[in-house]
Amino acid sequence: MSGWRTSGSSDPVFRGAVMKKTIEEINRKIAQKTAVVCTAAELKQRIARGETITAADVDVVTTGTFGVMSGTLAVLHIPVAPPGTFRKAEKVWLNGVPAIPGPCPNEGLGSVDVIVYGTAHASPTYGGGHLFRDLVEGNAVQVEVESDGKRFCHSVTLAEIPHARIITTRSAFKNYLAVVNTGSDPVKTIFAAEDLSGPYTGATVSGCGDINPVQNDPDLNVIGVGTRVLLNGGTGYITGTGTRATKEKPNIAAVADMKRMVPAMMGGFVTSAGPECTTSVAIPIPVLDDAILRNLRVTNNQIPLPVADVRDRVPFASATYADVWDGTDPVISFSRESCLQCDPCAAQAACPAGAIEPVQGINPARCVNCGTCVQTCAGNACTGTTGALMFDGRRVPIILRQSDRARALQLCEDLKNQILDGRFVLIEKTEDLL
């Protein structure tokens, strides 16, 4: 199995036999350095080359997704002042982002429990998602507490916050929507970096296609309550189904410690309707039998991508994820030689992730490969093929990708390496999601 990283030589293959492995057996093989672990992309590439692969040939396949996930929040316990300084917090802000104090009043303790939504706004360009990344990067944030008509201010870093968790109320949808404007008037929306014009002048898309976790386990055979995952690059757990989950369109809720997270795997994203939150999820799929392997064979051209009007979000047509990810560029490139050094820089002003630096170009640590700069750069210094949706005899160019497949691919690779190195141990779900 050249090209796959394994923890050693694999067990003998019993072709033709009905395989049924357990997670305990797979963990034992990982510990013994005999497990075969691959990413979803690697598995699909080998199948596409015509290789015959059964459950005997692979033990774990890693899947991942990264993108705008509005249903993300943080629960924090923050020290503010010495005990007795104020009675209890009535209002709280972190870097100007409004937080919800409580539910515990912490009366007289000088500290506060707060909930912060990833979609909460401090300004048109800074919100909860930006705040979460600032904390994980180790940056100091300003905490303001209002109590009995007085304000108390304190600067704090994540290291000084004893409890910090990210919770997703819904994440990693099996697949999502493409959005277009069928009307003539521009629409301000969370689905576009700038007001979405029409009719049919451009489409915005979400979802990482055939590497998306739930797309590779659509029947939720192994993904369930208690499944260990990477949430924003840090170890976490699935707590149940997310809001708006259905059997046809499942998603998950998850939780993880912020102190284990990776800044590049999370952040803020500015839309024409204000700041949003980017979140990532990676999930290992243990290949227990050939039925699970069959689901892992899914490819982009087999995954429907419903197309909806931005005004009502009701699907009226369908494309596929092949339009989004097959034959396109997952990474946006920058050519310094082509840069016209515009002042102001239109690409910088439009970039939802704040990843454009004039003349210097794209900051890869912040770029989420959405393609907005390709649409706005006057000198075509930012380049990348982002594809077009084909439906109802139309060809509608994709002007914004709210999911970053390149980062999702990196997540899959990171999770694979953690499993093989023994830093991530698979656990069995405790109950089904749906």
- pLDDT tens, 385-423? 999 999 999 999 999 999 999 999 999 999 999 999 999
What does pTM read for this prediction?
Answer: 0.94
Q: How far apart are CA 426 and CA 434, in angstroms?
A: 21
User: For the residues 53-74, what does the mean pLDDT come to?
Assistant: 97
The mean pLDDT of the chain is: 94
Q: How confident is the model over 108-145, as pLDDT tens digits? A: 999 999 999 999 999 999 999 999 999 999 999 999 99
Cis before 103? omega within 30:
yes
pLDDT value, residue 6 = 59
**Architecture of the domain defined by 329-384:** 2-Layer Sandwich (3.30)
Helices (H) and strands (E) in the chain, counts: 9, 26
Q: For residues 261 and 282, is the Cβ–Cβ distance under 8 A?
A: no
- List all residues 6 or more positions away from 9 whose beta carbon is below 8 Å from its beta carbon: 34
What is the percent of the chain with per-residue pLDDT over 90, rounded to a whole number?
94
Q: Output the pLDDT for position 364.
A: 95
User: Using one digit for the tens of pLDDT, what is the confidence trace for 278-330?
Assistant: 999 999 999 999 999 999 999 999 999 999 999 999 999 999 999 999 999 99
Average pLDDT of 162-171? Answer: 97
Q: Taking residues 52-68, report their average pLDDT.
A: 97
Q: Is the dihedral of CA 153, 156, 162, 167 positive or negative?
A: positive
Domain residues of the chain, as ranges? 1-69+172-324+402-434, 72-166, 329-384
